[in-house]
Structure 1
Amino acid sequence: MASLAWLLIPLFAAIGAAIWGSWAARDRTQGDISELAGYARFREAMGNGQGHGSADQVRAKAEANSASDAV
């Protein structure tokens, strides 16, 4: 009887692995459309990162603006 128990352990492990594998491989494309649309809106709002210059250029522009505001 003990040998039967030792044979059932791998059987249950294989069944559990099959269930987990089928769950992990499920089709999850249902929510991707709304997420991609949100990402497209984000990129549009951020201007695709073009034309903003480097961090040094942005800092210099901010300092120039603050200096002109102080006068």
Structure 2
Amino acid sequence: MSHYPNAAALGVVLRKSSYSNQESNCVEVAGLAGEVLVVDSKNPNGPALRHQPEAFTAFVRAVGTGTLVPVEA
């Protein structure tokens, strides 16, 4: 997984989940040139993690259905 060091410098419009509120610790997402960018909402000038759309869609689906399998450290 790679990242852009400064999400704000990309000039993309970030979207926050409708399930979030202003006090939530959450992430925001944006699409950019065939990628899904994920940014920590508390640090919008921080890094943006880059994901392939198919992988991000599978992740969101697994979280939503409760089928996400945690990785043991």
Q: TM-score, normalised by structure 1?
A: 0.29
Of Structure 1 and Structure 2, the greater helix share is in 1
Of Structure 1 and Structure 2, the greater strand share is in 2
Which structure is richer in relative contact order (CA contacts within 8 A, separation 6 or more)?
2
Larger radius of gyration: 1
Q: TM-score, normalised by structure 2?
A: 0.28
